[in-house]
Amino acid sequence: MGSSTNSTPFWSRWWFKAGISAAVLTILFYKVDRHELGSALKEVDPLWLLLALGTYLLSMVISCVRWTMLARPLGFQQPLSHFFGSYFTGMYMNLFGVSTVAGDIGRALFLAGGPGRRALALTTVLADRGLGFVVLVCIGAVAIILQPQYRMPLPLYWAAWLVPPATLLGWLFGPQLAVRVLPAENRWRRMVEVDLVPYWNDVKLLVSTSLVAAVFHTLQILSQYFLGLGLGLNVPWAYYFIFVPVVNLAGMAPVTFSGIGIREAGYIFFLHRMRVDQHAAMALGLLASAIVLASGLVGGLVYLFWSGPQPQAVPAESQEASTERRRGSAAG
């Protein structure tokens, strides 16, 4: 008798990704001076560590605001507290998955409030992720281009020029081109052509949410800078805007547990170019991973004390009014 688990590719299962993370960390632990690594972690300034955690959590609040801004035009009018509870509960759920998929599905279900709009709610989450990806690519690319004194590998330098425009074009036109192959009555085609019109035509929405996304990523980068200060690293703050986005983008690859292993290896690679010892660079990566996990635990506290509304159907007149507004925008 078959099961969905048996049909899941082995490379997408939690044990495989956790194993990859463990294997990479084992190799790194073998290569670095473990005594020096332990000393660096013991001597980290707790005030900088707390500031890094607070900054990271603030970035999550900003990300929640961005998601709310993207969901409003699609007819989701729940109060900000509902988005906050859903978002942080999703962060907690990410602790039990190997990527952000579990948390994304969770917050989409909380937002939908019933079976009628789950696909549309999930689309707001995907749009939130997609916009964040585009802005992160642009931040890293601009930092690389404007700071030629930090000589990056040639492929990374060329990617800084080529990837951002390609990513932006994919965001603006990719889904619309993809649905052209679908039948006119297909619900996914209708969703893109009617429900998601604000994501393609509302310039004010795209600009405002992109600015919020830039604030979000800046706070996340600053949290890494604060960790570096806590470790006593002599690395210019501007250099963090190069390597943190690149490593974060690499960590999105679904091959490790929450980017653990990729993050530490990436930090060692980029900080070595600034003559930072391997043990210090790995300490920064480990602390960064600890911040991510700690934020998930904070999400657990929100999950424990937040009483979200019971799933309920969205009033038909509200759905119809929202759809008519988007249909009118599409026609215009």
- pLDDT tens column, 221-240: 999 999 999 999 999 999 99
Please list, in sequence order, all residues whose beta carbon lies within 8 angstroms of the beta carbon of residue 210, skipping any fewer than 6 positions away: 131, 134, 135
Per the prediction, the chain carries an average pLDDT of: 84
Per the CB < 8 A criterion, the answer to whether 196 and 175 are in contact is yes
CA 24 centroid distance within chain: 22
In this prediction, residue 172 has a pLDDT band, given cuts at 50, 70 and 90, of confident
State CA 129 to chain mean position distance.
6
pLDDT single digits (tens) 156-169: 999 999 999 998 88
- Is the residue at 24 inside a domain? yes
What confidence tens digit (pLDDT) does each residue in 20-74 have? 888 889 999 999 999 999 999 999 999 999 999 999 999 999 999 999 999 999 8
The amino acid occupying position 63 is S
- Domain extent at residue 29: 15-309
pTM over 0.75: yes
The number of distinct structural domains making up the chain is 1
Question: Residue 171 burial by CB count (10 A; 0-12/13-18/19+): exposed, middle or buried?
Answer: middle
Q: Please report whether residue 187 resides in a domain.
A: yes
Average pLDDT over residues 91-110: 78
- Distance in angstroms (rounded) separating the CA atoms of residues 259 and 218: 19
Whether 318 is covered by a domain: the verdict is no
In a domain, 181, yes or no: yes
Residue among 264, 310, 253, 213 nearest 17 (CA): 253
> Do 182 and 188 meet the contact criterion of CB atoms below 8 Å apart?
yes
Q: Is the pLDDT of residue 201 over 60?
A: yes
The pair of structure tokens assigned to 39 is 């000393």
Let me know if residue 4 belongs to a domain: no
Task: Please tell me the chain's helix, strand, coil percentages from 3-state DSSP, rounded to the nearest 5.
Answer: 80, 0, 20
Give domain status of residue 296, yes or no: yes
pLDDT more than 90, % of the chain: 52
* pLDDT, position 119: 82
Return d(Cα 316, Cα 150) in angstroms, integer: 57
Residue 325 placed within a domain: no
Q: Which two tokens stand for residue 11?
A: 């490379």
DSSP sequence for 196-220: THHHHH-HHHHHHHHHHHHHHHHHH
User: Is residue 182 in a domain?
Assistant: yes
